Structure 1
Amino acid sequence: MSLRRRLSAAVALTVAAAGVVMAAGTAAAATRHEAESAPATCDGLIESNHAGFSGSGFCNANNAAGAAAQFTVTAPAAGAATVNIRYANGGTSSRPADVLVNGAVAHAGSAFDPTGAWTSWVTKTLTVSLNAGDNTIRLNPTTAGGLPNLDYLEVDAPTSGKTTVWLAGDSTVANSSGSNVVGWGRELSNYLTTDATVVNSAVGGRSVQTWLYESAVTSTKNSAGECVLSSTAYAARWQAMLNASTGMKAGDHLFIQFGINDGSSTCPRHVGSARYRELLTTMVRAAQQRGAHPVLVTPVSALRCSGSTATPTRGFLTETFDVGRATGAPVIDLHKLSYTLYNSLRFCPFNGDYSSGPVGAFFANDHTHFEAAGARQIAGLVTKAVRDQQLALSAYLR
């Protein structure tokens, strides 16, 4: 590809002018701006020779450092905004770019990694802070390779008001799974402002499939080794999230953590890798279609010691990251963050007594479930990652 891109675009996201009506306390639905359509301009070629793009074409501008893509965004209120950039990079190396907001670097050297082919389009999602009124968002390539082929940019501009944080997961997330067992979801509100409401629909003992379909998942496997469904009707908890009136709305957040019970070899909890990806993708896409912000969370680690070191314990890590890359949903690696925390607290070596000492104060009777104090620390890891990764929920952190 000898020609690459300089895209200098001024895109006004004036919601009222676009005819978008926002309910009080919600965020505007993401607005798409095609790279090939005015007012966007492309210093190169508008092409349509690589299938899979949106609209009538894509921008293939010149190879050059500094050949930037710039958009002007009007936000009705200050706060965090989600920016989705759809691109293809059929080369063999990343095409990094600084992302500048109002002239200041918000994400330095953000990677636009190879996608495998010029016909393979992916979405890169970033969170930036916008001022009320007009803002500029500029993608400034830092190498001679320039930017990747650009299909479109979407911006979910912030509004003032309240948000709902929806949680889907197992007992390590649930409010309570018996006596002193507390999931990190119950403690999450301690880190959020009063403008954020947590709706915790996590349920103990569930895989992603049993959480979605509950008793419709049978104890029989099909020829592919997956548990057979007696019905494709969703469980009430997922139906509630999908409810057009009272469920997820634009500007809300959906945190999804599974991967502990899914590793069972027997039905109904068993979920294979491909099915796991499929179901996570279904949940992520449902949130995105409603203008909500999905966040994938790798399964929190159990405590397992190898001498004086806490070691990784969970599966479905690769699958979770795969879905994140394919959908553009951010991933919080709670698995790594949690066993790293155990090491910082020097939980290992451990004699197996969960009734006393620092481990007993953190874990409830076993190596998997938490006391309230432990759950609060795990919730702290989640919210620190939200802040560090500049996710949309960061606008609601205390």
Structure 2
Amino acid sequence: MTNRLLPAVWLLGLMLMGFTASPPAKIKVYLIGDSTMANKEVKAFPETGWGMPFAVFFDETVTVDNRAQNGRSTKSFIAENRWQPVAYDLKPGDYVLIQFGHNDEVPTKATYTPEADFKANLVRFITETRSKKATPILITPVARRKFDAAGKIEETHAAYAGLVRTVAQANNVPLIDLDKESQEMLQQFGVENSKLLFNHLAPGEHPNYPDGREDNTHFSELGARKMAELVLADIRNLKLELADRIVRREVKTTVDPQAR
């Protein structure tokens, strides 16, 4: 009887092997944006873009390709031919995280992008990403550290953050509202402790900044990490397939203002 069962058992084993799930395909996650997201040269440290710590949270199936550049707007990113190679290289299953606004919104800068053009550029990123069967994710510009006299955080991106939200809704694109969430984090840290999140240095504290630094736009290593954690938490909350590839599954959403 046992011998008669062996072929059936063998056949069942082959069938089960056929149904075994194959490992997830390898993908790329492209980051396009400005200095708050970008990789930094050694001479800029401890200034850190949030895209730097973000990259280490994923398993071996994900390559994070950070194309963000200091000082860029949607207009200059396209004009300098920085977007086109990303669009060309996209493969099905890839992601593009899009965060602009800091340099688009300032009329005195050469990178200034009028509101209608800003929206059109975002739509271009979305359309060309989807044409490659990849997924675009829009991110509102991360907050600057600016408090009023009463210690309340001030909105510094109202118009352009609003445009990102409008484009996301109109085009059914996943949205990470980093402007809103980072404001909430800064408020939780408070006027003084929030300096820990930014590139604030006393004279002589770091050799790259012998005269010190009071930068309320660009992050310290701690600040970049905290912003990356906000983005990662939203990727999970949006229930994107990408969330299954995060190595640290439980991303903290609460903030300890004393954390260093």
Contact persistence 2:186–2:194 (CA under 8 A): no
1:242 aligned residue: 87
Deviation at 1:329, TM superposition (A): 1.1
Which is richer in helix? 2
Give the alignment partner of residue 180 of structure 2, picking from 336, 356, 367: 336
Give the alignment partner of residue 308 of structure 1, picking from 151, 155, 160: 151
| Aligned AA (1:164) | K
Contact persistence 2:24–2:61 (CA under 8 A): no
| Aligned AA (2:26) | K
C-alpha offsets along residues 181-202 of structure 1, whole Å, 9 cap, x if unaligned?
A: 1110111123222211110000
Tell me if 1:387 matches 2:236: yes
Please give the alpha-carbon distance, in whole angstroms, between the structure 1 residues aligned to 2:184 and 2:61: 31
Higher relative contact order (CA 8 A, sep 6+): 2
Structure 1 pair 242/318, CA: closer, same or farther in 2 (3 Å)?
A: same
Contact persistence 1:191–1:380 (CA under 8 A): no
Please give the alpha-carbon distance, in whole angstroms, between the structure 1 residues aligned to 2:86 and 2:134: 11
C-alpha offsets along residues 323-363 of structure 1, whole Å, 9 cap, x if unaligned?
A: 11222211110000101111222x22x4xxxxxxx444320
TM-score normalised over the length of structure 1? 0.50
1:42 aligned residue: none
TM-score normalised over the length of structure 2? 0.76
Please give the alpha-carbon distance, in whole angstroms, between the structure 2 residues aligned to 1:320 and 1:333: 9
Give the alignment partner of residue 362 of structure 1, picking from 197, 204, 221: 197
1:175 aligned residue: 39
Contact persistence 1:77–1:159 (CA under 8 A): no
State how many pairs are aligned. 212
Give the alignment partner of residue 256 of structure 1, picking from 61, 80, 98: 98
Contact persistence 1:293–1:392 (CA under 8 A): no
2:225 aligned residue: 376
2:126 aligned residue: 284
Tell me if 1:272 matches 2:114: yes
Contact persistence 1:77–1:160 (CA under 8 A): no
SS in 2 for 1:366: strand
| Aligned AA (1:201) | R
Which consecutive residues of structure 1, in runs of 5 or more, have no partner in the other structure?
1-75, 79-131, 133-157, 215-234, 351-357
Deviation at 1:266, TM superposition (A): 3.1
2:162 aligned residue: 318
Please give the alpha-carbon distance, in whole angstroms, between the structure 1 residues aligned to 2:39 and 2:76: 18
Counting aligned pairs with the same residue, the percent is 31
Please give the alpha-carbon distance, in whole angstroms, between the structure 1 residues aligned to 2:109 and 2:178: 26
Q: CA-atom RMSD, angstroms?
A: 2.1
C-alpha offsets along residues 114-159 of structure 1, whole Å, 9 cap, x if unaligned?
A: xxxxxxxxxxxxxxxxxx6xxxxxxxxxxxxxxxxxxxxxxxxx97
C-alpha offsets along residues 24-69 of structure 1, whole Å, 9 cap, x if unaligned?
A: xxxxxxxxxxxxxxxxxxxxxxxxxxxxxxxxxxxxxxxxxxxxxx
SS in 2 for 1:278: helix
Deviation at 1:77, TM superposition (A): 9.6
| Aligned AA (1:310) | I
Structure 1 pair 326/187, CA: closer, same or farther in 2 (3 Å)?
A: same
1:210 aligned residue: 76
Contact persistence 2:182–2:227 (CA under 8 A): yes
Structure 1 pair 295/252, CA: closer, same or farther in 2 (3 Å)?
A: same
